[in-house]
Amino acid sequence: MNPKQLAGERAAEYVEDGMVVGLGTGSTAFFAIQKLGQRIADGLDICGIPTSQQSRIQAESENIPLTDFGRVTRIALTIDGADEFDPDFNLIKGGGGALLREKIVASLSDREIIVADESKPVAHLGAFPLPVEVIPFGWQAIQRLLADLGCHPTLRNAQDNTPFVTDNGNYIIDCDFGRIDDPPMLEAKINAICGVVECGLFIGLTDRIIIGKTDGTIEERTKEARIDE
């Protein structure tokens, strides 16, 4: 089985009747949503909050009932992916462009499970460029301010070579900082720039990481323990 599918399907096993579930975005979260659709067909009673139009469309195709923050105040469990994560469970997210909604959902969740393959664990964050969501007005000035923090920033483009636009109507600047030694401090500095909406550093939001492996095994990490199966 695909390692991403292994991780996504295992995470879906943590979902229980009556839960409000945050539905992540990306190639690994895809398999969790797919599995939840199968479990709903077998009688599981949940509702979901999607983190992107992409995950909304998939959830609707899987007949997963959806809700929103006008009707609920908390999420029991969110399942999402990551571009990389370090031993302290700090994450870089946003490769798929959904970082703002992903962070809102994660911050309002009682628990978050990250699903990944073996390429995502790193000793230090920074190999993957850090996505920063910014408003379109003045993005060039914001990009210069980000560069002043010590990165090489690049405006993300869509396939037609126009600026990539998020579900929220914003742009993304991908910032290559190299090794990030102090993720919380960098997050604070970036988010203090006027015009920055949010950055892809996720600090202190994850409880469990499930890693699917090419040999067919699954590794589960919590902040207290590591489990290999």
Question: Which residues have C-beta within 8 Å of that of residue 71, sequence separation ≥ 6?
Answer: none
Parallel, antiparallel or unpaired: strands 201-202 and 91-92 = antiparallel
- Determine how many CB atoms are found less than 10 A away from the CB of residue 228: 10
Residue 43 CA to residue 180 CA, distance in Å, equals: 45
User: Can you say whether the dihedral through the CA atoms of 87, 93, 95, 96 is positive or negative?
Assistant: positive
How would you classify the pairing of strands 91-92 and 84-85?
A: antiparallel
Q: How far is CA 102 from CA 24, 50, 79, 118, 120, in A?
A: 7, 9, 10, 22, 18
102 catalytic residue (yes or no): yes
DSSP 197: E
Cα–Cα distance between 47 and 77 in angstroms, integer?
11
* Rg of the chain in Å (alpha carbons): 17
| Catalytic one of 9, 84, 102, 187 | 102
CB 51 within 8 A of CB 99: no
C-alpha triplet 158, 163, 164: angle, nearest 5°: 50
DSSP 8-state symbol, 73: S
Q: Which residues are catalytic?
A: 102
